[in-house]
Structure 1
Amino acid sequence: MRPTELADYVGQSHILGADKPLARALAGGRIHSMILWGPPGTGKTTLARLLAAQVDMRFVQISAVMAGVKDIRAAVAEAREARSGRGQGTLLFVDEVHRFNKAQQDGLLPFVEDGTLVLVGATTENPSFEVNNALLSRTRTYVLRALDVQAIRLLIDRALADRERGLGGRGLDMPAALRDQLAARADGDARRALNLLELAADIAAGRDASSGEIVQADLDDVLSSGLRRFDKGGDYFYDQMSALHKSVRGTDPDAALYWLARMLEAGCDPRYVARRVTRMASEDIGNADPRALQLALNAWDTYERMGSPEGELAIAQATVYMACAPKSNAVYAGFNAAWKDAREQGSLEVPMHIRNAPTTLMKDLGYGQGYRYAHNEADGYAAGDSYLPEALLGTRYYEPVARGLEIKIGEKLARLRARDEAADTSRVTRSHPNAPTADE
């Protein structure tokens, strides 16, 4: 059911719209090297094929899982031969490009630069982490989004109507309500939607070849049959990672272990899991138990040193620890709030008393004047002083929760804030005689 013309391609209008750079390049008969980053079933391979056809280029596909430098050299040799013979350019599509190591990625660079080939790489992983900066700088990254329900529904309708490539030749029908249900359950994955549709059609035919209709029981059978979406292409990836994350957040070590085992058994890269577990340590535990972050990093490092299966046990250990640890998202919430103000409040001035003053002119202008060196204050705290821009004075971003170590942190901040309220809040213009200057 792959479309053969770009006009029939469904979704990704944010990069293929008439006013978008990629569409304008195609309209001019041009194409550039790119990375297509998106979840499974969003049309990365199909788009690469259609791009090659749109600009009349040879399409050569290799998989980074199976290919090596030898395969790259062979593709380059074919590209040179084609260009010298028929004058036709070559689009090299590298599926799962993130699985190429540094040497393999570097091997593509000179041929992308000299125009021997146009590279289109597909990845489900963040290119910032998995693709070399040198290759990223020579390509443009396009983010493909999961297809919405309407797009999936259109693909289902096409498959049911197409008599040559789809299910139209079987004479099967499917009620609109069931088509909507399947589209919603596909979770933005076109491949999954078509696979489920074909399975439901097979079940319907096996149940009653004369019925000519897919019924609710057929669809229910497919949706509850344990079809694994987390295959080599990454199906079920987001659902299962979300389940793991929420199990840790919900303090359920048993569920966390189950989802971790499901993902690893299905072939998920343990490094990716380790990275997400490390994120959980900051997002969901934070300062309630700072040891969680260190344990997550230790588990990640252990896997890098030992590999499977020993290293996976360390990731499981960190996962269980985090599931059982006290939870706090105070840092996460506070950082998001601060980020929002930084983005929306404009370039608020740094208060004069905490500015750096490396020159005489800056000192004469008042830079650093009134700075109080906290180490020389009682208990190492300059009560009543402030460090936020004037427009944000009094803002509280970090509010510790009453769990774990943050109980102690909250008590300390409460004491310090009480001292602030008791102190003379007018700006102190006299520095401690032993305090360093602002530039120190």
Structure 2
Amino acid sequence: MNEPLAERLRPNTIDDYISQTHIVGPNGSLTKQIKSGIIPSMIFWGPPGVGKTTLANIIANTSERPFYTLSAINSGVKDVREVIDKAKKSGGLFTTKNPILFIDEIHRFSKSQQDSLLQAVEKGWVTLIGATTENPSFEVIPALLSRCQVYILNSFNKNDLEALLRRAIEKDDILSKKTIKLKETDALLRFSGGDARKLLNIFELLVNSESRDKIVITNDLVIQHVQNNIVRYDKTGEQHYDIISAFIKSIRGSDPNAAVYYLARMIEGGEDVKFIARRLLILASEDIGNANPTALVIANSTFQAVSTIGNPESRIILSQCATYLACSPKSNASYQAINNAQQLVKQTGDLSVPLEIRNAPTKLMKELGYGDNYKYAHNYDGNFVNQEFMPESISGTTLYEPGNNSRESAQREFLKKRWKDKYGY
């Protein structure tokens, strides 16, 4: 049986590697390390199909090191220790030829499994390269994360994906037996979602579906052959981001029926329930916020509950949370407020905090006027007194605009009574 196209085209050298120029381009942060063979332990973080495994293989080949690989899906502590024992025998301590241990989907390792890697990494028995689609700050234990450099890999852009297609047509021995013309690529790129592996799998499926020796790739041809062949949810990444995106957008759009449908797709596909709960937690603040502050409380309780209970009962809790959030009033006002504030900070830099609201922990600071004339709000009627909190040069800048719902309308009235002469409420 032939290898999949994505495997046949996997590059073996850094010069053949497409994309991620910010880390492996001519001036990339990893390029010199790879070519010198002095490789630190590291974590590759990025969506599926962006070259994490390929880059690990290239590093091993270029540095001529022994290469061991484990998948966190089907490996346990025993497997980790067996590989480390082999690595200790095949390489020297703290040399440029330390074996590389590549762990795919390292975020799926439990704390005890990650703990089993610590000594090997610290002692230099192995150089660890982990790959993850999840934020390592949340999914990798701090002790291990502190021993690794984190590199972010981005989704392929249009030029990268089209270059991959041209390479497949020109260099693959099987595809080169046919005459293939890329007339249109929009549908191929849309279905791939920036995932190079998915793109090549779809392209191979398309070519193999055509009995003709001469094939002209058009959007209609792609849709005709591909649309009905990619409906299955793949928890390893093929539709991981498509389904979670549809799930979140359905809740944001106040459609509980679509929300539980996509929730069921993920549950039936074996998705990590904590991944789903974490996205609900973000949505509760980003898309509902102060329109219904209880949403964040329920989402947080959901995350804690599914972390404790696990499958299969977590589906009930997730369904309750998803339908509650879908039926909740929506507002992104607090989300927009922090976006506006961060943009203002980037534009204006480190402006001076007004003296009267500065902290004065030392005698010198008090002598310099820190905290002078500060008005303690609770000493005034209504627990409010008009005073300046913003730096002088941006005084009166409105960053938070309450939404048009009952709760935030009340907030707007609250602010208007107090700040009608300063902010635009």
Q: TM-score, normalised by structure 1?
A: 0.88
Aligned to 1:391: 393
Aligned to 2:106: 97
Identity of aligned residues (%): 41
Whether the 8 Å contact between 1:385 and 1:420 is mirrored in structure 2 is no
Aligned to 2:417: 415
Q: 141, 144, 149: which is aligned to 1:132?
A: 141
Please tell me whether residue 122 in structure 1 is matched to residue 131 in structure 2. Answer: yes
Q: 47, 56, 81: which is aligned to 1:39?
A: 47
Please tell me whether residue 366 in structure 1 is matched to residue 375 in structure 2. Answer: no
Cα 1:143/1:361, change in 2 over 3 Å = closer
Q: TM-score, normalised by structure 2?
A: 0.91
Cα 1:163/1:350, change in 2 over 3 Å = closer
Whether the 8 Å contact between 2:182 and 2:216 is mirrored in structure 1 is no
Q: 195, 200, 206: which is aligned to 1:200?
A: 206
Aligned to 2:5: none
Q: Which has the larger radius of gyration?
A: 1
Aligned to 1:344: 347
Cα 1:178/1:46, change in 2 over 3 Å = same
CA distance in 1, matches of 2:344, 2:216: 53
CA distance in 2, matches of 1:147, 1:229: 23
Aligned to 1:302: 305
Q: 73, 78, 86: which is aligned to 1:78?
A: 86
Please tell me whether residue 255 in structure 1 is matched to residue 264 in structure 2. Answer: no
Determine helix, strand or coil for the equivalent of 1:225: helix
Determine helix, strand or coil for the equivalent of 2:388: coil
Please tell me whether residue 223 in structure 1 is matched to residue 250 in structure 2. Answer: no
Counterpart of 1:273, as a letter, is I
CA distance in 2, matches of 1:229, 1:140: 35
Determine helix, strand or coil for the equivalent of 1:356: coil
Q: CA deviation at 1:129?
A: 0.5
Aligned to 2:358: 355
Counterpart of 2:121, as a letter, is V
Whether the 8 Å contact between 1:204 and 1:215 is mirrored in structure 2 is no
Q: CA deviation at 1:330?
A: 1.0
Whether the 8 Å contact between 2:298 and 2:321 is mirrored in structure 1 is yes
Q: CA deviation at 1:353?
A: 1.5
Aligned to 2:175: 167
Q: CA deviation at 1:21?
A: 2.8
CA RMSD of aligned residues (A): 2.3
Whether the 8 Å contact between 1:284 and 1:329 is mirrored in structure 2 is yes
Q: Deviations over 1:97-130 (max 9, x none)?
A: 1111112112112211222111111111111110
Q: CA deviation at 1:315?
A: 1.6
CA distance in 2, matches of 1:229, 1:135: 35
Whether the 8 Å contact between 1:201 and 1:214 is mirrored in structure 2 is no
Please tell me whether residue 66 in structure 1 is matched to residue 74 in structure 2. Answer: yes
Q: CA deviation at 1:228?
A: 4.1
Q: 300, 310, 314: which is aligned to 1:311?
A: 314
Q: CA deviation at 1:184?
A: 4.2
Determine helix, strand or coil for the equivalent of 1:119: strand
Whether the 8 Å contact between 2:92 and 2:98 is mirrored in structure 1 is no
Determine helix, strand or coil for the equivalent of 2:70: strand
Whether the 8 Å contact between 1:152 and 1:188 is mirrored in structure 2 is yes
Q: 3, 23, 29: which is aligned to 2:11?
A: 3
Aligned to 1:25: 33
CA distance in 1, matches of 2:262, 2:283: 15
CA distance in 1, matches of 2:108, 2:263: 21
